[in-house]
């Protein structure tokens, strides 16, 4: 992390950015390695909505979208055809600002295209939501399917299908899915951080269906790759 008129911090998440000189421009810069054909997202809390911070990527002002009242998602990179880097710059517009719920996520563009196609075919219809819960219905046309989301996977997530508890699982090492059967279902996602009952933010920005066989195949391929390249740091 590089600093301009900002006191050093030990980590991004839950850090308080404090100006050294209140009259000077203040910001931090950090570099994100970008893989080709991969989209990158960063989640933030509400400081950006309050005007306390603003974001640019490689010198360009960054557009954000808000899936809930207390979560901001910024698209850091999309559609690059080569491996590269992105310089993310966070400006502090007040005397200090809290970087809350800061996380980085990536997903291959081919998955995004498939999600969009599947979402149009099998939409998850949200009927109610608040800062910690999302409720909706979905129609599943065949058995052994998965309701696949881009909810960042955390142990605090819980899910029910027609009132019955279903354990959320992880895909792509970062997002959440649940197994689901054929039929019309009411699906509820609830987030309760372990040991914490305040400051809860839903970070949802898309839903799609992928058959269970897809996950089993990926798991087999991943295990085979691990055996072939045990020194791969990724």
**Which domains does the chain carry?**
13-108 (2.60.120), 122-227 (2.60.120)
Would you state the structure tokens that stand for residue 108, as one six-digit string? 């291959």
The answer to whether 116 and 122 have CB atoms below 8 angstroms apart is no
Give strand pairing partners of 41. 75, 105
Residue 117 vs residue 187, higher pLDDT: 187
Q: Per-residue pLDDT tens for 203-229?
A: 334 444 444 444 445 555 555 554 454
> How confident is the model over 75-128, as pLDDT tens digits?
788 878 899 999 999 999 989 988 887 888 887 777 767 766 666 666 778 888
Q: What is the pTM of this model?
A: 0.58
Specify the pLDDT at position 199: 38
Sheet of 183-191: strands edge to edge? 125-129, 133-140, 183-191, 157-161, 164-166
Does 3 have pLDDT greater than 50?
A: yes
pLDDT tens column, 149-170: 767 777 788 999 999 999 999 8
User: Quick check: 30 pLDDT over 50?
Assistant: yes
Q: Phi and psi dihedrals of 130, rounded to 5?
A: -145, -165
């Amino acid at each position: 992390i590089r600093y301009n008129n900002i006191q050093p911090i030990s980590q991004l998440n839950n850090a308080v950015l404090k100006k050294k000189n209140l009259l000077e421009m203040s910001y931090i810069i950090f570099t994100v390695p970008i893989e080709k054909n991969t989209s990158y997202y960063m989640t933030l809390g509400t400081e950006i909505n309050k005007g306390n911070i603003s974001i640019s990527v490689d010198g360009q002002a960054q557009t954000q979208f808000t899936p809930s009242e207390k979560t901001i998602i910024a698209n850091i990179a999309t559609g690059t055809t080569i491996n590269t880097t992105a310089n993310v710059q966070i400006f502090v517009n007040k005397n200090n600002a809290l970087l809350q719920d800061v996380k980085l996520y990536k997903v291959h563009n081919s998955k995004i295209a498939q999600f969009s196609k599947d979402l149009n075919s099998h939409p998850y219809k949200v009927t109610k939501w608040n800062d910690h819960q999302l409720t909706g219905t979905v129609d599943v046309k065949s058995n052994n399917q998965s309701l696949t989301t881009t909810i960042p996977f955390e142990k605090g997530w819980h899910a029910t299908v027609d009132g019955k508890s279903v354990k959320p699982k992880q895909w792509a090492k970062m997002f959440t899915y649940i197994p689901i059967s054929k039929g019309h279902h009411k699906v509820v996602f609830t987030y309760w951080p372990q040991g914490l009952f305040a400051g809860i933010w839903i970070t949802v920005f898309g839903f799609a269906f992928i058959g269970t066989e897809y996950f089993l195949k990926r798991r087999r391929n991943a295990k085979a790759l691990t055996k072939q390249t045990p020194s791969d740091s990724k």
